[in-house]
Amino acid sequence: MWNKISQLLAFFENTIVGVLIMYSALMLFTQIIARAVFNYSFSWAEESVRYAIIWMVFMASSIAFRQNAHISIDVLKQILPKSMLKPFQAAICTICLMTTMLLAWFGWELASRMMMFGQVSSAMEAPMYIFYLSIPISSIFMSIRISESFVSLFSKTNKDTNIAFEEVS
Amino acid sequence: MGAGFFTLTSGLLIFGLPIFVVLLLTVFIGLYSGSSTSLMLIIQRMFSGLDSFPLMAIPLFILAGNLMSTSGLSARILKVAMLCVGPFRGGLAMTTVTGSMFFGAISGSSPATVVSVGRLILPSMIKEGYDRQFSVGLLMATGSLGIIIPPSIFMIVYGAMAGVSIGALFMAGIGAGVVYGAVFLTYCYYRACRAGMKPQPFPPVIELVQAVKDAIWGLAIPVIILGGIYSGLFTPTEAAAVSVIYSAFVGLFIHRDLTLKSIWKVCIESSVITAQVMVIVSAAAAFSWYLTTSNLTGSLSEMLSQLSDNKLLLLLVINVIVLIAGMFLDPNSIVIILVPLIIYVAQAAGIDLIHLGVILCVNCAIGMFTPPFGMNLFVASSLDNVTYGEAVRGALPLVWLALIVLIIINVFPSISLWLPSVALPNI
Amino acid sequence: YSTTVIKVHSDTTEDSAQQEGLERFKELVETRSNGEYDVTIYPNNALGNDVEVAQQMQFGAVQAAPIPTAKLSGFNKDLQLIDMPFLFPNREVAYQFLDGDIGQEVLSGLRKSGFEAAMFWESGFKQLTCNSPIDNPKDLQGKKVRVMESPLLISQYKALGSNPVPIAFSETYTALQQGVVECQENPLVSISQMKFYEVQKNLMMTNHGYLGTAFVFSKMWFDSQSAEHQALLLQAAREAGKYQRERSITREDVYLSGIKAAGSTKVTTLSEAQLDEFQAAMSPVYKEFGNKLSKGLLERSQAELKKLSSL
Ligand code: NA
Ligand code: NA
């Protein structure tokens, strides 16, 4: 059951980041063509690309947790005796989880404050909290992925799911 | 307090937590224990650390590089490099250097260069009897050319931080990259002579012509990127989008080795690689705010400003600081954390900010393959069953060679500044 | 007692009228509070850019800053009033208006966005630079003009038939140099310090817009101070602001002569009649943005400015 949900979330993450990065490339290219050929500029092009990429980065951070791809100094992991590995990785998961939950909490607090103050972006004049929500929402996704890794440390059956702590190419 | 903070940071780093988690966690702890500042600040800095248009070149240059590797563009370019220097003594090693230079000119990041060149050339080097450690070391050391030769993600981040023209930085990187490449080529030749390697006969010219013809779409990329930037058709950031569209177009319609489906897959992979880099940039912005306001680095900047009347000594100290930082941190965090501390001192001492950018770039390029932490080390470890230990042992002797390049670039600013001064006389 | 730290953000270098004003503010606050306040100035956007710092002020992480009105308009639309083209005929009228009832009303409107505003400081009047000479509005037709990412400025240049391109301040020099854009507008302080004149052949003294900054405190932090200290802080910001304006005027002459001395830029002063043409060509902005402001604000302002101008 959880595997189904997890796959659905993965599909959701992949679709968001894929669409956003493609949008960014196409929008900037369109901007160049419009300026060079038609001497016209979209005033919201740069801003929309900035916020698209910010959403993309935080959502893709969740995928990176799923693939255990976040950059770290993993020397200690390589020299630890096998018996220590599991508690060690459990500790890492716990600390990561604490951090992403703090991000979710304070991210939500900041976004809701922005909702209250009603700041809008400078070019699109869109509410800023929509973009700031990228951090708390993605942090919830990250928390889910970290929890999955944590659980998989202690369950023997789930070896085939590609969640964390398997080597990534 | 300062010592405790840095012990905490390095302790958490060595423990093996993701770097961005370490940066955020230390700021969480620092702000919570030491001041009344709301922790919402961290979120605000994380967001605004990324909210800068020049940084948008990072995902797009990564995407473009991956599109070129997935399609046959990179392989075709390497074939040309192989035909140019392959017949010399130590030709295959020299092909690694030249290939990295070529690939550096179409890709913005070092790990991408290591992967693309490494996949294609490492197996043949080992098959031809090259020492395994040397081969991997050379690959990592020259892969660093990815951020020295334009386009360069490092230069973009530095330019955005320091308010320096990214176009001029790109120009300045060419000179430094050529010197870096030349020193390594010379070393490969010297090594091959000492090992008694024999030169190979040159292939018929027609073969080279054919290879250039095959690779022409790839070889055109640096011309299009730099030409577009310097003719005013687009900004350096927009150039990244151009190279994405261009490589997708060539892969889909000219070489026909990309499909919409494979492009979609590359998009998602590239997003994840982008996130690995940019989430650290984002966390480093929070970290740097904390350093700035808590006066933890006050003694460092005070020491630096006392050196401001001795340019060479100041440069030496900056180099040492960045080299040490480079052992542990990635280039983008280094720039974000250190540039605010050193830039005004450097400016006061009369150091050209473009020259400084190139110096920092080469420093960070070296940091990419110095242990314990270096992206090139990790990426190389993922190639052809190389272990982390082998990668480290292969890298260490070449660090010295790279340090020689670093000294040359420090002492002769004109290597960096000549090209921009000719091409962009107003800077 | 312990000292309270006041972190002050600044978006300019240390060599600026704004820095001089902030140092005066620091001096006044620290002496008058007998050292109860410790003011630290962070120049060069060290804490973030204007909009980012304004956000930080909303939750009290930074305590005070002079922030350009154009950057605050995302928080409160009424600040766009100050950015209207040709709003002020000259500095005296601008100061009287901004320090008068309507100016104060606009400032106190910032309370609901989380800022306690003390006074308008300034960057100065905006001038136009371009690669080709611009003598009348028609010369700007089809030209690519770099503007701040602000809907009002974008529509101001659209009204002239040019192509406004929003480009980050830090990328503007390169963009001008490489011809991505051909023109830009800024006060002399920016044209001089960012060296835009090196890559622009013409500087037109148009005074077509006023770049004001609002000196604001974080309301969250300000409200937690004693009434006595609040008065002290506001008073210090106002006195320092008077000084900042004086320095701004003095420095403008220095900047202009520096640009002239560099020799690569032709400086043109436009006649009243020419400026009237620009004013007429930019006037559609008033119609478009007037009703985005609080009801009646634009009409009252125009009436007040007419009165002040005729004095
Ligand atoms: Na490159
Ligand atoms: Na390193």
Q: B47 and A131 in contact by Cβ < 8 A?
A: yes
Q: Can the peptide bond before residue B340 be classed as cis, meaning omega within 30 degrees of 0?
A: no
Provide the pLDDT for residue C217: 98
Q: A56 and B52 in contact by Cβ < 8 A?
A: no
Provide the pLDDT for residue A161: 43
pLDDT in tens, C94-143: 999 999 999 999 999 999 999 999 999 999 999 999 999 999 999 999 99
**Ligand 1 center to B277 CA (angstroms):** 16
- Counted across chains A and B, CB pairs separated by less than 8 A come out at 177
pLDDT above 90 for B113: no
Query: Residue B289's closest chain C neighbor by CA?
Result: C47
**Ligand 2 center to B371 CA (angstroms):** 5
**Banded pLDDT at B387 (limits 50, 70, 90):** confident
Q: B18 and A72 in contact by Cβ < 8 A?
A: yes
- CA B68/CA B88 separation, integer angstroms: 28
pLDDT above 80 for C178: no
pLDDT above 70 for C292: yes
Provide the pLDDT for residue C15: 85
Q: B54 and C44 in contact by Cβ < 8 A?
A: no
Provide the pLDDT for residue A157: 54
pLDDT above 80 for B124: yes
- For every residue of B68-104, DSSP letters joined together read HHHSTHHHHHHHHHHHHHTTSTTHHHHHHHHHHHHHH
Sort out which chain C residues have CB atoms less than 8 A from B52's CB and list them.
168
pLDDT above 80 for C303: yes
Q: Nearest ligand, CA of residue B370?
A: 2
Q: C167 and B340 in contact by Cβ < 8 A?
A: no
- Between C85 and B120, residue with greater pLDDT: C85
- For every residue of chain C, DSSP letters joined together read --PEEEEEE-SS-SSSHHHHHHHHHHHHHHHHTTTSEEEEEE-TTTT--HHHHHHHHHTTSS-EEEEEHHHHTTT-GGGHHHHSTT--SSHHHHHHHHHSHHHHHHHHGGGGGTEEEEEEEEEEEEEEEESS---SGGGGTT-EEEE-S-HHHHHHHHHTT-EEEE--GGGHHHHHHTTS-SEEEEEHHHHHHTTGGGG-SEEEEEEEEEEEEEEEEEHHHHTTS-HHHHHHHHHHHHHHHHHHHHHHHHHHHHHHHHHHHH-SSEEEEPPHHHHHHHHHHHTHHHHHHHTTSSTTHHHHHHHHHHHHHH-
**Banded pLDDT at A75 (limits 50, 70, 90):** confident
CA distance B26 to chain C (A): 17
- Between B283 and B203, residue with greater pLDDT: B283
Distance between terminal CA atoms of chain A? Answer: 28
Query: Residue B42's closest chain C neighbor by CA?
Result: C56
CA distance A15 to chain B (A): 8
Provide the pLDDT for residue C293: 94
Report the percent of chain C where pLDDT is more than 70: 100
pLDDT above 50 for A169: no
Q: A39 and C144 in contact by Cβ < 8 A?
A: yes
pLDDT in tens, B46-63: 999 999 888 888 899 889
Sort out which chain A residues have CB atoms less than 8 A from C75's CB and list them.
117-119
Q: CB-CB: which of A53, A72, A103 is closest to B56?
A: A53
Q: C59 and A110 in contact by Cβ < 8 A?
A: yes
Sort out which chain A residues have CB atoms less than 8 A from C144's CB and list them.
35, 39, 41
- CA A43/CA C83 separation, integer angstroms: 18
Overall average pLDDT of the B303-313 stretch: 84
Cβ(B46)–Cβ(A117) below 8 Å: no
- Between C219 and B376, residue with greater pLDDT: C219
**Banded pLDDT at C1 (limits 50, 70, 90):** low
- Burial B128-162, CB ≥16 within 10 A → b, else e: eebeebbbbbbbbbbbbbbbbbbbbbbbbbbbbbb
Cβ(C291)–Cβ(C163) below 8 Å: no
Provide the pLDDT for residue A156: 64
* pTM of the predicted protein model: 0.88
Query: Residue A37's closest chain B neighbor by CA?
Result: B233
Sort out which chain A residues have CB atoms less than 8 A from B21's CB and list them.
70, 95-96, 99
Chain B touched by A132 (CB under 8 Å): yes
Sort out which chain A residues have CB atoms less than 8 A from B56's CB and list them.
24, 28, 46, 49-50, 53
CA distance B379 to chain A (A): 9
CA distance A104 to chain C (A): 17
pLDDT in tens, B134-166: 999 999 999 999 999 988 889 988 987 887 888
Residue B307: phi, psi to the nearest 5? -90, 0
- CA B128/CA B391 separation, integer angstroms: 19
Provide the pLDDT for residue B69: 84
**Ligand 2 center to B335 CA (angstroms):** 14
Two tokens, residue C253: 């002459």
User: Sign of the C-alpha dihedral, residues C230, C233, C239, C242?
Assistant: negative
Provide the pLDDT for residue B1: 59
Half-sphere CA count of A163, side-chain side, radius 13 A: 24
Q: Which of C2, C165, C167, C177 to mutate to test the interface with B (most CBs of B within 10 A)?
A: C177
Q: Which long-range contacts (CB under 8 A, 24 or more apart) does B337-343 make?
A: B337/B284, B337/B287, B337/B288, B337/B291, B339/B158, B339/B161, B339/B162, B340/B161, B340/B288, B340/B292, B340/C44, B340/C46, B341/B297, B341/B300, B341/B301, B341/B304, B342/B301, B342/B304, B342/B318, B343/B161, B343/B162
Provide the pLDDT for residue B299: 72
Provide the pLDDT for residue B317: 92
Sort out which chain C residues have CB atoms less than 8 A from B158's CB and list them.
none
- For every residue of B99-149, DSSP letters joined together read HHHHHHTT-S-HHHHHHHHHHHHHHHHHHTT--HHHHHHHHHHHHTHHHHS
Provide the pLDDT for residue A168: 33
Overall average pLDDT of the C10-22 stretch: 92
Mean of the per-residue pLDDT values of chain B: 88
Chain B touched by C7 (CB under 8 Å): yes
